[in-house]
Amino acid sequence: STANAPEDDAPSRYSRTERTTYSRYSRDANSSGSSLPSNSLEKRIEELERELAKERQDNARLMKIAQDKEELIGKLKEEIDLLNR
């Protein structure tokens, strides 16, 4: 049950982080006088944030699959022990 807890609060934690990151980079881009226009930087940041969100979803899905398999392994080990007795 403890393994589920990080996944459950992950969407809210990540979205808050992404908003903070986006705000920080937007300010930096506007004040730094970068060679790229701030509009291009904002589009790139949005693109990277979308990619990051997809990767986090994929990671959460893979973690759930791994957890399910671990639970199945535990149940099968118990069943093997019972059969051996």
Residue-by-residue pLDDT tens, the chain, 85 positions: 444 444 444 455 555 555 555 555 555 555 555 566 789 999 999 999 999 999 999 999 999 999 999 999 999 999 999 999 9
User: Can you tell me which residue has the tokens 């937007």?
Assistant: 26
Q: What is the pLDDT of residue 67?
A: 98
In this structure, the number of other CB atoms found within 10 A of the CB of residue 71 comes to 11
Q: Tell me what pLDDT residue 37 has.
A: 79
Please tell me the pTM assigned to this model: 0.50
Where does the chain have alpha helices with state H? 4-32, 38-84
pLDDT at 15 (0 to 100): 55
pLDDT at res. 84: 96
What distance in Å separates the CA atoms of residue 23 and residue 19, rounded to the nearest whole number?
Answer: 6
